[in-house]
């Protein structure tokens, strides 16, 4: 659900005034990036700069110039917090500019900042875990946060599970909107290539290393997941969600509870979030 105020095309606008050109190359050719992160306690999250690092890096890789400086962008975010109040999620979108021939940009990139209610995560996911169905797909430009999510969405709509898990070349990669970790003995194993290296993923790796857990970033063959002790996913609104099943491979969620609770509690402390911020039933501020 959209909040009242947003920033689009160089000005603040109310939600019923959100209009951009139909000739933007983000629409015509998918030449666009985005990022998504949360406000905390009526102010910017303490990890906002990590998300902005990724946003500006993604823009550079797609040869897009963000039309405002990082500090000016943070001021725009603060103003949206003041205008809308309460808990909110920011969706930053940067599209290549308008195009008269449908291929070459005529103007500068267009920045949009949408303020939204936070995507809800069911409470039972944290206690009972989620089920995943594998799907053969490798995202284009996997380390860039483009707006191309249609394949993941269609796969998710056809699945009879909580989400889908991308697999390519015989290796497990990621879900459409989360990274995945596997647990084996005292180690966390996660794909190191062909995935978007999420901000929450980065923090979990740092926390785990500080807690003496081994981190292994490598290819994860699909045929090896039955040998793992467990698995969990991570994302901005999914602060360590256990996985109970992948296809016909099941995991005992309670087996990992102590480890995951430790990692999650530290993660929430660093991000300034709480479980109540992201679970359904607590978000309609």
Q: Using the 8-state DSSP alphabet, how is residue 2 labeled?
A: B
Long-range pairs for 40-43 at CB < 8 Å and ≥24 separation?
Answer: 40/271, 40/272, 40/273, 40/277, 41/272, 42/81, 42/85, 42/86, 43/78, 43/81
Token duo for residue 55: 């946003």
Looking at the domain 5-116, which fold is it? D-amino Acid Aminotransferase; Chain A, domain 1 (3.30.470)
Q: For residues 231-252, give the mean pLDDT.
A: 97
Q: What pTM was computed for the model? A: 0.95
Q: For residues 60-84, give the mean pLDDT.
A: 98
Q: What is the pLDDT of residues 105-137, one digit of tens each?
A: 999 999 999 999 987 789 999 999 999 999 999
The SS3 of residue 146 is strand
In the chain, CATH 3.30.470.10 sits at 5-116
Q: What is the pLDDT of residues 16-57, one digit of tens each?
A: 999 999 999 999 999 999 999 999 989 999 999 999 999 999
Question: Is the domain defined by 124-278 classed in CATH 3.20.10.10?
Answer: yes
Which residues share a beta bridge with 90? 37, 115
Residue 183 vs residue 284, higher pLDDT: 183
Nearest to 110 by CA among 154, 76, 66: 66
Q: What is the pLDDT of residues 250-281, one digit of tens each?
A: 999 999 999 999 999 999 999 998 888 888 64
The SS3 of residue 42 is coil
Question: Do 181 and 231 meet the contact criterion of CB atoms below 8 Å apart?
Answer: yes
Q: For residues 158-177, give the mean pLDDT.
A: 98
Main-chain dihedrals φ then ψ at residue 200, nearest 5 degrees: -65, -40
What pLDDT, on the 0 to 100 scale, is given for residue 281?
A: 40
Main-chain dihedrals φ then ψ at residue 103, nearest 5 degrees: -140, -45
Nearest to 1 by CA among 78, 81, 83, 115: 115
Whether 199 has a pLDDT exceeding 70, the answer reads yes
Mean pLDDT in the chain?
95
In the chain, CATH 3.20.10.10 sits at 124-278
Q: What is the pLDDT of residues 200-218, one digit of tens each?
A: 999 999 999 999 999 999 9
Main-chain dihedrals φ then ψ at residue 10, nearest 5 degrees: 95, 10
Whether 58 has a pLDDT exceeding 80, the answer reads yes
What pLDDT, on the 0 to 100 scale, is given for residue 280?
A: 60
């Amino acid at each position: 659900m959209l909040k009242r105020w947003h920033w689009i095309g160089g000005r603040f606008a109310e939600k019923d005034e959100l209009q951009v050109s139909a000739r933007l190359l983000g629409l015509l050719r998918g030449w666009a990036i985005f990022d998504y992160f949360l406000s905390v306690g009526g102010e910017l999250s303490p990890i906002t700069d990590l998300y902005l690092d990724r946003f500006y890096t993604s823009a550079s890789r797609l040869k897009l110039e963000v039309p405002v400086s990082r500090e000016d962008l943070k001021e725009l975010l603060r103003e949206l917090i003041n205008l809308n109040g309460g808990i909110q999620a920011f969706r930053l979108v940067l599209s290549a500019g308008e195009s008269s021939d449908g291929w070459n940009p005529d103007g500068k990139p267009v920045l949009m900042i949408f303020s939204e209610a936070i995507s809800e995560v069911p409470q039972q996911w944290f206690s009972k875990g989620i089920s995943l169905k594998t799907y053969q797909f490798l995202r284009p430009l996997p380390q860039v946060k483009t707006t191309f999510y249609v394949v993941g969405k269609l796969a998710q709509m056809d699945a009879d599970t909580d989400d889908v898990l991308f697999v390519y070349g015989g290796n497990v990669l990621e879900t459409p909107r989360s990274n995945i970790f596997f647990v084996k003995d005292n180690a966390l194993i996660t794909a190191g290539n062909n995935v978007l290296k999420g901000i929450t993923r980065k923090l979990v790796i740092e926390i785990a290393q500080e807690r003496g857990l081994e981190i292994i970033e490598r290819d994860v063959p699909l045929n090896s997941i039955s040998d793992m002790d467990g698995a969990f996913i991570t994302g901005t609104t999914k602060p360590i969600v256990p996985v109970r099943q992948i296809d016909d491979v099941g995991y005992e969620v309670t087996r990992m509870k102590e480890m995951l609770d430790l990692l999650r509690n530290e993660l929430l402390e660093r991000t300034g979030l709480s479980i109540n911020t992201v679970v359904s039933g607590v978000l309609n501020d």
